[in-house]
Amino acid sequence: MNRRETNWAGNVGFSAERVHRPSSLAELRDIVAGSARVRALGSGHSFNDIADTPGDLVSLAGLPRTMELDSATGEVLVGAGVRYAELAQWLSGRGRSLHNLGSLPHISVAGSCATATHGSGDANGNLATAVTGLDLLTAEGDTVRLDRATAGEEFAGAVVALGALGVVTALTLRTGPAFDVAQRVYEDLPLEVLDDHFDDIMSCAYSVSLFTGWRAPRIDQVWVKQRVGDPAPVPEGGRLFGAAEAGGPRHPVPGMDTANCTEQGGVAGPWSERLPHFRPGAPPSSAGDELQAEYLLPRRHAVAALNALSAVRARIAPVLQVCEVRTVAADDLWLSPAYGRDTVGVHFTLVRDLAAVEPVLGLVEERLAPFGALPHWGKLFTVAPGTLREGYPRLPDFLALARRYDPRGKFGNAYLERHLLDG
């Protein structure tokens, strides 16, 4: 089937010779086994060519919406085509929860885990840290079941794998009891407050996000998601280190419709309806009229890194819609930017003008380089491949794993060759 396929935002046009939309695992197996080069496409919510291929591009969106809860273990088996919005609602209705969700519930579970996508919260690992097992379709069309018991240490290399080992057809995720969350937004926090109170603010609730437009040395909004039953971050009607609670609903991006955001004002609701910033039935973020980049660095450098960005905010602000700061707990996943280190992520939602954005990304990367920043695998970045590879001490082990599962490079592409193999 010949057609031009693009990513979610439309800034990447895939070069695939054929685009497939299988409706069954058997159909997917035949496509993979018969292809010379193939890549899987989830929700397409990446802003670079990570999913591209000159051969066969396979959308997983039409696969069965498998969701099976094991009442004995509390684990849930999830098909590769399932998105977080439907999984979260399904689990919540059965009294279960995931440990976290990303800002957008629209993204696919498999694609998010493959790229170490994350939410926020000091104690919350990225979304892939919930994975306890996965089903992998190999180059020959065989299905291999991997978990920590069968794969041992190598399981940590297979979870965040960027599609390099094969096509993930299902994931098993750890769940916990359902819980409620109350969300409040605070406004106008002077940036200098973070010098002494960054840890206090980011740890004051289950999940905390900072938003700034970098038009002043100020955090414009602090989104505080309190788990009901936990201590309140501030007394009712009080201020959060000088920031006042917003007088009504807010959207992170100025001028966007607040009805698209999850409920605020301290109204308690299910975790599935509060941990994301955006409602599943509404346009997410800037509804695709955007570019995105994100850099993840050791949490201990957070304040210094934000001050370094503030020093060049006059260059950043003209191409920026909003910048979000989140925290991520350390993990043991080989290609996770949080491998072995508590992490802070600095995310940029940018105007859709690559020519204007690229020089600013170079400047941001220059300012963050002293702090060991790593780019999100699925976002825009200009970091040199050699520098990127230095940030992943287990990369040689991962490449050996990839060669064993895919010795002929069926699942490889220019992105993987450029960032993982070149040089």
pLDDT of 148-174, one tens digit each? 898 999 999 999 999 999 999 999 999
Average pLDDT over residues 370-388: 96
For residue 1, name the pLDDT band (cuts at 50, 70, 90): very low
pLDDT of residue 234: 87
Dihedral (Cα; 151, 154, 159, 160), 10-degree rounding: -170
pTM: 0.96
Q: How big is the CA angle at 28 (ends 26 and 30), to the nearest 5 degrees? A: 70
Read off the tokens for 304: 């210094």
- Taking residue 411's Cβ as centre, other Cβ atoms within 10 Å add up to 26
C-alpha radius of gyration, the chain, whole number: 21
For residue 4, name the pLDDT band (cuts at 50, 70, 90): low
Average pLDDT over residues 96-114: 96
For residue 43, name the pLDDT band (cuts at 50, 70, 90): confident
Domains of the chain: 67-177 (3.30.465.10), 180-385 (3.30.70.2520)
Residues linked to residue 296 through DSSP beta bridges, in sequence order: 345, 374
Q: How big is the CA angle at 128 (ends 47 and 33), to the nearest 5 degrees? A: 70
pLDDT of residue 281: 82
For residue 238, name the pLDDT band (cuts at 50, 70, 90): confident
pLDDT of residue 230: 96
Q: How big is the CA angle at 358 (ends 114 and 51), to the nearest 5 degrees? A: 25
Check whether 2 has a pLDDT greater than 50. Answer: no
- From 260, 261, 205, select the one nearest 229 (Cα to Cα): 205
